A and B are shown apart, each in its own frame.
Chain A
Amino acid sequence: MFAHLHVASAYSLRYGSAFPAELARRAAEHGMDVLALTDRDGMYGAVKHVQACADAGIAPVVGVDLALREAGDGLALRGPDGGGTGPGRAREEERITVLARTGGWAHLCRLTTAAHYAGERGEPRVTRDLVAPHAGELLVMLGPRSDVGRALAARRDEQARALLAAWRAEVPHLVVEVVDQYGYREANAALRMLTLAESMGVPAVLTNAVRHLDPGDYRVGNVLDAARKLVPLHPRHLEHSASHAYLKSGAEMERVASRICEGDRDRARRLLAATGEAAGQCVIDPLEVLALRGGPERLLLPEVDGDPVPLLRGLCEDGLAVRGLDRSAAARDRLASELHVIERKQLSGYFITVSGITDMIRRMGVRCAIRGSGAGSLVNYLIRIGEVNPLDHGLLMERFLSDGRVGLPDIDVDVESARRLDCYQAILDRYGEDRVACVSMMETYRARSAIRDVGAAMGLPPHEVDVIAKAFPHIRARQIGSALTDLPELRDSGLNDRALETLFRLAEKLDGLPRHIALHPCGVLVGNSGLRDRTPVERSLLDFPMSQYDKEDVEEAGLLKLDVLGVRMQSSIAYALSEVRRVDGQEIDIDRGVPQDDRATYDMISTGRTLGCFQIESPGQRELVAKLEPRTMHDLIVDISLFRPGPVNSDMITPYLEARHGWREARYPHPRLRAALAETNGVVVFHEQVLRIVDTMTGCGLSRAEEVRRSLSTPEGRAGIMAWWEAEVLPEFDRETTDRAWGVLDAFGAFGFCKAHAAAFALPTYQSAWLKRHHTAAFFAGLLTHEPGMYPNRVILDEARQCGVAVLPLDVNHSGRHWLVERHQAPPVEGPEEPRDPGDGPSERRFGEGYGLRVPFSSVKGISEAEVERMVAGRPYTSLADFWERARPSRPVAERIVQVGGVDALYGLHTGAPRWRPGELTRRDLLAQVGALDRASATGVTGGRRGRAGFRSRYAAARPAPAEAAPVVQIPMEFTERVEPGELPEMTEAEAVEAELEILGMDVSRHVIGFHRELLDAIGVVRSDELLRMRNGAEILVAGVKVATQTPAIRSGQRIVFTTLDDSTGPVDLTFFESVQGHCAATIFGSWLMVAKGVVRRVGARAVSLRALDCWNLVELDEAWRTEGMDKVWAMLGVARRDTGGVGGRPIQYGNGFRLSPYADNGAPPGMRLPPAKLWHASPGSSGPPPSAPRRRTTDVTP
């Protein structure tokens, strides 16, 4: 039977379109018994191919299709390539295909790695010399794209012959590959290739250079070609015969052979026989690759000095003593059972290695915390991988590692995000490049990326493509068409236009195809010197060695990994602690030296003032903590676990809260289940409880229970478990209990939350809350510097203000690289929108008083790292000219610094004070001076003068503070103009804030909403701090800056938009249901300042949220108010909206009845996260660079 030896899957990036499993299935359907996968440039799909072949019952062959580097031996040539050549076509690269011969996997891996290290990053290249050392275990195929093939196509037969001879001299297993895809004259070229091979005694094989599964898929291939080559979709750039590059059947391939051989049957038969023979030499044993299948797991364990088993035992014994558990019988029993499992699985060395790594990370002074199921293991606690004692929280080891579980345990640790790469580097240095590699991941085409690539391929202007792409939420590419009709904000956007139809149609075709390879956010492989025999390694963008396998492949290949995840909150905490140390000289041991039951901290959490705190800052969580009122670490663990789709889905929050607050008694499905459920008042919250219920009701043991829980995540698994459950429940449980318990297990499915995760999260959650309450300014400095949360910095800044922390403007003499805390005894300037006291004592609300936060240089737009460095190093400065000379900022940066008041202090300018007095210096005067300084430097007159100190502002040199002295700004060279103070009018308050928003991305001196106060008062807008006084069900107007928009997964299967507005007195949380999105969606996603009408919903003693009815863009209202007056505004607010239809799209229905909107939970929704260029109607004279594209923020990955 025919064997395809040259097959590219979708893992040939921007080339192939079929996935390995589909190809293997199709090959099996064709009755083939061997199938090769030869992806371009790497083995990204190799493990999946071997798996797919094993599943389909065929033998796998694996190879790589590699580009040739032009050899310097004079044999290379230039010339038009074979079939399908068009005029003006660029010469295509030469490629060869290398197959691993039986047992040659390691050599293929090593050659692939070598190719990646030989070429430019991302452009692997091989030469004959590079192949030669591995050639004994490999089979090299030279096809029409090879140097030989191209020479022959160009009718340089002698050269082709010489090249083939050169290959033959170096490579013992060499074949010539003939291909005919029915292109013009292609059969003839193939025949000449075959003849050449025959004449030189090199075996010839037939392939179809497969790219696709079905004939019609070539259209995807055309789009991919255009995207890859960055050329427009035009016949000139396409292969005309691409429709034949699919996985043909044996009969079809026989026809191809016969066509090439012009009907010479013997010759065709010989060609096919040679193909089969080559395939036979290259078949690999799946078990050689798939380490978890077929008997005992064959893991690649790290090397440890000495026998790891006694070593780990010793470490644990020491740990018992250090942790004060050496007398605890429970701890000893648990340890014994854990060690038993670990030793049976031969994982002792892995634990020792991980412990060594976490020790090393901590010794580097990097914060490091365990996360995930690993927190459930006592061993991890004892050998100091983690700081969570599983016995304290009833965490189970089985959730992490159990006898029955096939697969590898995964230890996850969180480190400071800013130091993650340092940690990687340290691990690399310690174990060596050969033993360590990062895990990769495939980024696949989604709506936005597909639109971008297709748009580029169609030659649309880049900025238009950008606008179109950003209009879509983060959905799958194939949802583009339905989203255009389902989502109100797209329906009315004008994108649904015939002109763009082709763009969207093509973009949908790319759905789910791998687009590029990237560093996995956390996975690190730690192996031994044999690592690179098992996985090919390439260089990541940051030059780390990176495996070509993704995390599933890595596990399947038996490679142990450690997840080192960078967590911004850990960096924030570390920064906060360093600021406390710097400013107050106080050393805080946040991990061990802080009480875990601090009343003030829990008081703050219970009032929902958790903005900025880890895990509990989202609108939904603020609502939940206010209702739950946590008092202990355990409450926090429950809170974090409840705020997950699982518990929300099976409606566990209400019964839990009712029982918690004593409104009803805790109910247990059965008295025997009380032990498992007592900690959460009878409500199932944790995975661990699911395990205990299953164990209690069937007696199957926790290890089996964990398998049961895992099986629930797939529909097939669920059906199997349902039958198992009916059969296995012990007779003492009645029908009703059995059914009820099943209902819970089913609803919980795979969604719920592992208590070990929550326990690991609860610690930084509490730590962040504690810091917010007790070291407020330092905590905010950490948040502003590392941006760990979901809110933009201006919201964090406003929250800081409300906690009583002063916000200090940029000042060239006080600002640093990052946000700095300053002691600030004077009360902050009372702005007009100072929060009104809502009834709490001022100390309760303003616990951060006494400190200020200084805006750093790094927040100035467009500033370079080097500029920041010079500015910080050069402090103090005595004048603008001095700053200009020594810090050497670029002119725009200097202007921006002046615009936001960075040199105000040097010249005694005060914000808030009446700043334009005739004859006195203004910011605009200083701005003009920057221009003068720049011109002076540019003329070259002062070429030698720049950098020369000594020219000081007379004023600044003489007296440091008084404002009455009229400053005269001296220019450090006589040829420049003098600037008279007061020549130019001062910036207005509004202009100052606008400049701040534009340059710093936040309003520092005043809250932007303040400028609309008059209008908002006129229409009777309710402020955030007044919400608590509103009665339930009242219909009110609110307003503010939109600071967050989320579309999370929720129970009803609707797409619900949660929006948070900030109105300077606090957050206002709005919920837009689908019924109102028809007329609201465009405004929600399209405006920055918003007015909304909503119905008050009291959700707890101290929490209020609003069900939104309608919303308006405040800027438009403002415009109407100014131009047409109040009546117009009332008309706008009162207008009955035409219903344009809600959100369409069928919810995704899960087996257990859970429904999910197809547009829910897809990351950051589109829309504006930064202020638009113009906020309010008029700002004459405002200068500055054009608005930049919004900065994209990455969110941390949660499990």
Chain B
Amino acid sequence: MSRIYGDPIEVWTRDDDPARFVWRDRLYVVHRILDHWVTSREWWKISENDPGERRFWRVEASPAKGVGTYELRFDTASGGWLLLRAWD
């Protein structure tokens, strides 16, 4: 059962891929990248400098105990990360 959150999170990356992230004051370590894809938004409606690109990762990650699946989103223009969904 997945739940949608959309919380801003802090992410550390390795080779452009997320390696660890902090969500709700807990540190998660990424074990495996399940999927990664890229979308572009309606950039013509946004500003000149926003390429409108969004990168998504679906990862297996774990805090202290148990492993869950999480979907992270990176917004190229703002440089911000969100935790979109979690299956746990």
Q: How far is the CA of A216 from the CA of B48 in the complex (A)?
A: 11
A259 touches B36 (CB 8 A): yes
B37 touches A183 (CB 8 A): yes
**In the assembled complex, how far is the CB of residue B58 from the closest CB belonging to chain A, in whole angstroms?**
10
Chain B hits for A215, CB < 8 A: 51, 53
Chain A CB within 10 A, most for which of B35, B40, B41, B42? B40
**In the assembled complex, how far is the CB of residue A153 from the closest CB belonging to chain B, in whole angstroms?**
15
Chain B hits for A182, CB < 8 A: 36-38, 55
Chain A hits for B51, CB < 8 A: 215-216, 219, 243
Contact A185-B53, Cβ < 8 Å, known A219-B43, A502-B44: no
Chain B hits for A186, CB < 8 A: 37
Whether, in the assembled complex, B39 has its beta carbon less than 8 Å from a beta carbon of chain A, the answer is: yes
**In the assembled complex, how far is the CB of residue B47 from the closest CB belonging to chain A, in whole angstroms?**
10
Contact A242-B40, Cβ < 8 Å, known A216-B51, A219-B51, A505-B48: yes
| Count of A interface residues, CB-CB < 8 Å | 26
B44 touches A506 (CB 8 A): yes
Whether, in the assembled complex, A241 has its beta carbon less than 8 Å from a beta carbon of chain B, the answer is: yes
A241 touches B36 (CB 8 A): no
Contact A187-B35, Cβ < 8 Å, known A243-B51, A243-B53: yes
Contact with A along B53-64 (1 / 0, CB 8 A): 101000000000
Picked from B35, B40, B45, the residue with its CB within 8 Å of the CB of A240 is: B40
Picked from A240, A255, A502, the residue with its CB within 8 Å of the CB of B39 is: A240
Whether, in the assembled complex, A884 has its beta carbon less than 8 Å from a beta carbon of chain B, the answer is: no
Whether, in the assembled complex, A114 has its beta carbon less than 8 Å from a beta carbon of chain B, the answer is: no
B40 touches A238 (CB 8 A): yes
**In the assembled complex, how far is the CB of residue A217 from the closest CB belonging to chain B, in whole angstroms?**
10
List residues 1-54 of chain B with CB under 8 A from any CB of chain A. 15, 35-45, 48, 51, 53
Whether, in the assembled complex, A101 has its beta carbon less than 8 Å from a beta carbon of chain B, the answer is: no
Chain B hits for A218, CB < 8 A: 40
A243 touches B40 (CB 8 A): yes
B35 touches A241 (CB 8 A): no
Chain A CB within 10 A, most for which of B15, B41, B42, B44? B44
B35 touches A185 (CB 8 A): yes
List residues 185-219 of chain A with CB under 8 A from any CB of chain B. 185-187, 215-216, 218-219
Q: How far is the CA of A181 from the CA of B53 in the complex (A)?
A: 13
Residue of B nearest to A244 (CB): B38
**In the assembled complex, how far is the CB of residue B50 from the closest CB belonging to chain A, in whole angstroms?**
10
Q: How far is the CA of A242 from the CA of B53 in the complex (A)?
A: 10
Whether, in the assembled complex, A233 has its beta carbon less than 8 Å from a beta carbon of chain B, the answer is: yes
List residues 217-245 of chain A with CB under 8 A from any CB of chain B. 218-219, 222, 233-235, 238, 240-244
Residue of A nearest to B76 (CB): A243
Q: How far is the CA of A242 from the CA of B37 in the complex (A)?
A: 11
**In the assembled complex, how far is the CB of residue A557 from the closest CB belonging to chain B, in whole angstroms?**
39
Whether, in the assembled complex, A184 has its beta carbon less than 8 Å from a beta carbon of chain B, the answer is: yes
Chain B hits for A187, CB < 8 A: 35-36
**In the assembled complex, how far is the CB of residue A1150 from the closest CB belonging to chain B, in whole angstroms?**
32
**In the assembled complex, how far is the CB of residue B7 from the closest CB belonging to chain A, in whole angstroms?**
22
Chain A hits for B41, CB < 8 A: 235
Chain B CB within 10 A, most for which of A181, A183, A243? A243
Q: How far is the CA of A181 from the CA of B39 in the complex (A)?
A: 10
A184 touches B37 (CB 8 A): yes
Picked from A185, A240, A505, the residue with its CB within 8 Å of the CB of B38 is: A240
Chain A hits for B37, CB < 8 A: 182-186, 241
B43 touches A235 (CB 8 A): no
**In the assembled complex, how far is the CB of residue A40 from the closest CB belonging to chain B, in whole angstroms?**
22
B39 touches A184 (CB 8 A): yes
Chain B hits for A216, CB < 8 A: 51
Residue of B nearest to A223 (CB): B44
Chain A hits for B36, CB < 8 A: 182, 187, 259
**In the assembled complex, how far is the CB of residue A8 from the closest CB belonging to chain B, in whole angstroms?**
18
Chain B hits for A181, CB < 8 A: 38
Residue of A nearest to B36 (CB): A182
**In the assembled complex, how far is the CB of residue A210 from the closest CB belonging to chain B, in whole angstroms?**
16
List residues 291-331 of chain A with CB under 8 A from any CB of chain B. none
**In the assembled complex, how far is the CB of residue B83 from the closest CB belonging to chain A, in whole angstroms?**
18
Contact A241-B44, Cβ < 8 Å, known A216-B51, A219-B51: no
**In the assembled complex, how far is the CB of residue A405 from the closest CB belonging to chain B, in whole angstroms?**
47
Q: How far is the CA of A240 from the CA of B39 in the complex (A)?
A: 5
Chain A hits for B38, CB < 8 A: 181-183, 240-241, 243-244
Residue of B nearest to A503 (CB): B44
Q: How far is the CA of A502 from the CA of B39 in the complex (A)?
A: 21
Residue of B nearest to A188 (CB): B35
**In the assembled complex, how far is the CB of residue A76 from the closest CB belonging to chain B, in whole angstroms?**
29
A233 touches B44 (CB 8 A): yes
**In the assembled complex, how far is the CB of residue B37 from the closest CB belonging to chain A, in whole angstroms?**
4
Residue of B nearest to A216 (CB): B51
Q: How far is the CA of A542 from the CA of B68 in the complex (A)?
A: 65
Chain B hits for A506, CB < 8 A: 44
Q: How far is the CA of A243 from the CA of B35 in the complex (A)?
A: 18
Chain B hits for A238, CB < 8 A: 40
Q: How far is the CA of A778 from the CA of B60 in the complex (A)?
A: 89
**In the assembled complex, how far is the CB of residue B20 from the closest CB belonging to chain A, in whole angstroms?**
20
List residues 491-524 of chain A with CB under 8 A from any CB of chain B. 502, 505-506
Chain B hits for A235, CB < 8 A: 41-42
**In the assembled complex, how far is the CB of residue B2 from the closest CB belonging to chain A, in whole angstroms?**
16
Q: How far is the CA of A161 from the CA of B41 in the complex (A)?
A: 36
**In the assembled complex, how far is the CB of residue B56 from the closest CB belonging to chain A, in whole angstroms?**
8
**In the assembled complex, how far is the CB of residue A202 from the closest CB belonging to chain B, in whole angstroms?**
27
Chain A hits for B40, CB < 8 A: 218, 222, 238, 240-243
Chain B hits for A502, CB < 8 A: 44-45
Q: How far is the CA of A185 from the CA of B39 in the complex (A)?
A: 12
Chain A CB within 10 A, most for which of B35, B37, B39, B42? B37
Residue of A nearest to B33 (CB): A259
Q: How far is the CA of A234 from the CA of B44 in the complex (A)?
A: 9
List residues 63-81 of chain B with CB under 8 A from any CB of chain A. none
Picked from B15, B39, B43, B48, the residue with its CB within 8 Å of the CB of A241 is: B39
Chain A hits for B44, CB < 8 A: 219, 222, 233, 502, 506
Chain A hits for B48, CB < 8 A: 505
Chain A hits for B53, CB < 8 A: 215, 243
Q: How far is the CA of A215 from the CA of B43 in the complex (A)?
A: 14
Residue of A nearest to B32 (CB): A263
Q: How far is the CA of A735 from the CA of B51 in the complex (A)?
A: 59
Chain A hits for B35, CB < 8 A: 185, 187
Chain B hits for A242, CB < 8 A: 40
Residue of B nearest to A218 (CB): B40
Q: How far is the CA of A183 from the CA of B38 in the complex (A)?
A: 6
**In the assembled complex, how far is the CB of residue A181 from the closest CB belonging to chain B, in whole angstroms?**
8
Chain B hits for A244, CB < 8 A: 38
Q: How far is the CA of A240 from the CA of B35 in the complex (A)?
A: 16
Q: How far is the CA of A912 from the CA of B48 in the complex (A)?
A: 64
Q: How far is the CA of A215 from the CA of B40 in the complex (A)?
A: 11
List residues 976-1029 of chain A with CB under 8 A from any CB of chain B. none
Q: How far is the CA of A740 from the CA of B20 in the complex (A)?
A: 74
**In the assembled complex, how far is the CB of residue A243 from the closest CB belonging to chain B, in whole angstroms?**
5
Residue of A nearest to B53 (CB): A243
Q: How far is the CA of A244 from the CA of B36 in the complex (A)?
A: 13
Residue of B nearest to A182 (CB): B38
Chain B CB within 10 A, most for which of A184, A187, A234, A255? A184
Q: How far is the CA of A502 from the CA of B53 in the complex (A)?
A: 19
**In the assembled complex, how far is the CB of residue A1113 from the closest CB belonging to chain B, in whole angstroms?**
38
Chain A hits for B15, CB < 8 A: 255
Q: How far is the CA of A233 from the CA of B53 in the complex (A)?
A: 16
- Taking A242-B40, A243-B51 as given, write out 16 further A-B residue pairs in contact, using a Cβ cutoff of 8 Å, ordered by the A residue number: A181-B38, A183-B37, A184-B37, A184-B39, A185-B35, A187-B36, A215-B51, A219-B43, A222-B40, A222-B44, A238-B40, A240-B38, A243-B38, A243-B40, A243-B53, A255-B15
Interface residues of A (CB under 8 A from B): 181-187, 215-216, 218-219, 222, 233-235, 238, 240-244, 255, 259, 502, 505-506
Q: Give me 5 A-to-B residue pairs in the complex whose CB atoms sit less than 8 angstroms apart, sorted by A's number.
A: A181-B38, A185-B37, A215-B53, A216-B51, A241-B37
Question: Lowest 3 A-B CB distances belong to which pairs?
Answer: A182-B38, A184-B37, A240-B39
